[in-house]
Amino acid sequence: MSITWLSVTLSGFGRYREETTFRFAPGVNVCLAGNEAGKTTLAAGLAAIIYGLPATADPRAFGQGRYKNWDDPARFAGELNLQAGTQQYRILRNFANNRVSLQRLIDAKWQEEVGGEHKPGARKPNLAYEKKITELLGINSRELFMATFFVGQPLPQDENINPEIQQLISGSGAHYRDALDSLLAQAKAITRYTGRLGLTGQDMRNHRELELLEDEIATVGQAVKDSEETLLSLQNTSEELSMLRRKRELQSEELQKKEEMLSGWQKWRNLRERYTDSLQRQNVLSMAVEQGKKLQGDIQEKKKRLNLIMPGDCQDAEEMPDFATLGPTPQQTVEEAEKAAKRLHSDWQTFLADLEQLDLLESRLAGDYSLFEEAEPTLLEQLAAYNALRYRLETEKSKAAADFQRLRRLEEDWRAALEDFDAEFADLADLPENAAELIDKKLQLLNKMRREKEIKRPTGKSWLPATAAAALMGGAAFWLSRVIWLSGAVAAATAFVVLYILAQIKRNRQAAAGKKSLGELDGCLQQVDAQLGQHAFDDEAALGELRVRLKQRQRATARVEEMAEALPPAHAREALAVARESADNAYHSFLEQAEPFLRSFTDIETAYESWRDMLRKAATLRESVASFVRRQGAEVEPGQLMTLSPAELSYPWPVLASLAGVYDSRAQTAETLMSWLDQRDAAWWQKAINDAIKFAQTQQEATELLQEIQNCRQELSGLLSAHGAADLGQLQNVLTDATNRAVRILQDWEQVIEAHPGLPGTGEQDPHNLAEFSRDLEAETARLRDEDARLHETIRQLEIVQSRLQGKAPQNLAALQERQRDLTEKRGRLQREKAALKLAYTELSDAIHNFSSSYRQELAQKSSEIFCRITGQRERKLELDEHFNIGVTEEGRSVSPAQLSQGTRDQLYISLRLAIADLLAADVRLPFILDDPFLNWDENRLEIIGTTLAQIGQSRQVILLSHRQEYAHWGTHCQKS
**Distance, CA of 782 to CA of 258 (rounded, Å):** 9
pLDDT at 496: 44
**Distance, CA of 470 to CA of 490 (rounded, Å):** 14
Which H/E stretch holds residue 437?
helix 435-456
Task: Report the candidate in 694, 654, 653, 660 with the shortest Cα–Cα distance to residue 680.
Answer: 660
Q: List the Cα angle 127/128/129 in 5-degree steps.
A: 90
Return the higher-pLDDT residue of 420 and 7: 7
Q: Among 659-663, 868-872, 878-882, 973-977, where is mean pLDDT lowest?
A: 878-882
- On the question of pLDDT at 533 being above 80, the answer is no
Q: How confident is the model at residue 224 (pLDDT cuts 50, 70, 90)?
A: confident
**Distance, CA of 861 to CA of 877 (rounded, Å):** 8
Interacting residues of 220 by C-beta distance below 8 A, sequence separation 6+: 816, 819, 820, 823
**Distance, CA of 178 to CA of 160 (rounded, Å):** 19
Q: Cβ of 58: how many Cβ atoms within 10 Å? A: 14
Q: Determine contact, residues 671/678, Cβ cutoff 8 Å.
A: no
Q: What is the total residue count of the chain?
A: 977
How does 712-750 read in b/e, with b if 16+ C-beta sit within 10 Å?
Answer: beebbeebbeebebeebeebbebbeebeebbeebbeebe
- On the question of pLDDT at 673 being above 90, the answer is no
User: What digits encode the pLDDT tens for the residues 379-391?
Assistant: 888 888 888 888 8
**Distance, CA of 247 to CA of 255 (rounded, Å):** 12
Q: Determine contact, residues 971/958, Cβ cutoff 8 Å.
A: yes
Q: Which of 77-86, 428-437, 471-480, 731-740 has the highest mean pLDDT?
A: 77-86
pLDDT at 959: 94
The pair phi, psi for residue 120, each rounded to 5°, is -65, 130
The secondary structure of 465-482 as a DSSP string is: HHHHHHHHHHHHHHHHHH
- On the question of pLDDT at 240 being above 70, the answer is yes
Order across the sheet with 3-11: list the strands. Answer: 109-117, 99-106, 87-94, 77-84, 3-11, 20-23, 975-976
The DSSP letter of residue 74 is: S
**Distance, CA of 309 to CA of 371 (rounded, Å):** 71
Task: Report the candidate in 863, 846, 930 with the shortest Cα–Cα distance to residue 29.
Answer: 930
How does 410-441 read in b/e, with b if 16+ C-beta sit within 10 Å?
Answer: beeebeebeeeeeeebebeeebeeebbebbeb
pLDDT at 81: 96
Order across the sheet with 886-890: list the strands. Answer: 876-880, 886-890, 893-895
Domain range annotation of the chain: 3-138+923-976, 212-310+730-804, 324-355+633-722, 358-455+495-632
Q: How confident is the model at residue 309 (pLDDT cuts 50, 70, 90)?
A: low
What does pTM read for this prediction?
Answer: 0.38
Three-class SS state of 71? coil
Q: Summarize the confidence of residues 863-882 as an average pLDDT.
A: 74
pLDDT at 456: 58
- On the question of pLDDT at 314 being above 50, the answer is no
Three-class SS state of 843? helix
pLDDT at 854: 67
Amino acid identity at 864: S
The secondary structure of 318-351 as a DSSP string is: GGS--GGGG-S-HHHHHHHHHHHHHHHHHHHHHH
Three-class SS state of 299? helix
- On the question of pLDDT at 168 being above 60, the answer is no
Interacting residues of 700 by C-beta distance below 8 A, sequence separation 6+: none
User: What digits encode the pLDDT tens for the residues 175-194?
Assistant: 456 778 888 889 889 898 88
**Distance, CA of 833 to CA of 344 (rounded, Å):** 121
The secondary structure of 622-668 as a DSSP string is: HHHHHHHHHHTT--S-GGGGGGS-GGGS-TTHHHHHHHHHHTT----
Q: Are strands 87-94 and 77-84 parallel, antiparallel or unpaired?
A: antiparallel
Q: In the chain, helix, strand, coil percent, each to 5? A: 70, 10, 20
**Distance, CA of 527 to CA of 606 (rounded, Å):** 88
User: What digits encode the pLDDT tens for the residues 195-220?
Assistant: 888 888 898 989 888 889 889 889 88
Q: Summarize the confidence of residues 747-757 as an average pLDDT.
A: 86
Q: How confident is the model at residue 317 (pLDDT cuts 50, 70, 90)?
A: very low
Q: Among 43-47, 159-163, 324-328, where is mean pLDDT lowest?
A: 159-163
The pair phi, psi for residue 33, each rounded to 5°, is -160, 155
CA distances from 368 to 88, 258, 387 (A): 103, 70, 20
SS (H, E, C) 479-532: HHHHHHCCCHHHHHHHHHHHHHHHHHHHHHHHHHHHHHHHHHHHHHHHHHHHHH
Task: Report the candidate in 52, 68, 47 with the shortest Cα–Cα distance to residue 5.
Answer: 47
User: What digits encode the pLDDT tens for the residues 488-521?
Assistant: 433 344 444 445 455 555 555 655 555 657 677 7
**Distance, CA of 976 to CA of 4 (rounded, Å):** 17
User: What digits encode the pLDDT tens for the residues 923-934?
Assistant: 788 898 998 888
Residue 326's Cβ-side half-sphere holds a number of Cα atoms within 13 Å equal to: 30
The DSSP letter of residue 114 is: E
Q: Determine contact, residues 882/853, Cβ cutoff 8 Å.
A: yes
Q: Cβ of 632: how many Cβ atoms within 10 Å? A: 20
**Distance, CA of 705 to CA of 341 (rounded, Å):** 32
Omega prior to 154 cis, within 30 of 0: yes
Q: Among 7-11, 305-309, 347-351, 790-794, where is mean pLDDT lowest?
A: 305-309
Q: Summarize the confidence of residues 875-892 as an average pLDDT.
A: 72
pLDDT at 319: 53
Residue 925's Cβ-side half-sphere holds a number of Cα atoms within 13 Å equal to: 19
**Distance, CA of 184 to CA of 205 (rounded, Å):** 16
Return the higher-pLDDT residue of 599 and 922: 599
- On the question of pLDDT at 470 being above 50, the answer is no
- On the question of pLDDT at 404 being above 70, the answer is yes
Task: Report the candidate in 531, 562, 530 with the shortest Cα–Cα distance to residue 436.
Answer: 531
Q: How confident is the model at residue 312 (pLDDT cuts 50, 70, 90)?
A: very low
Interacting residues of 376 by C-beta distance below 8 A, sequence separation 6+: none
**Distance, CA of 49 to CA of 46 (rounded, Å):** 5
Q: Does domain 3-138+923-976 have CATH number 3.40.50.2300?
A: no
Amino acid identity at 182: S
Q: Cβ of 795: how many Cβ atoms within 10 Å? A: 17
Beta bridge partners of 976: 22
Q: Are strands 109-117 and 150-151 parallel, antiparallel or unpaired?
A: unpaired
- On the question of pLDDT at 433 being above 90, the answer is no
**Distance, CA of 361 to CA of 355 (rounded, Å):** 10
Q: Determine contact, residues 952/869, Cβ cutoff 8 Å.
A: no
Q: Is 121 buried (19+), middle (13-18) or exposed (0-12) by CB count in 10 A?
A: exposed
**Distance, CA of 778 to CA of 170 (rounded, Å):** 106
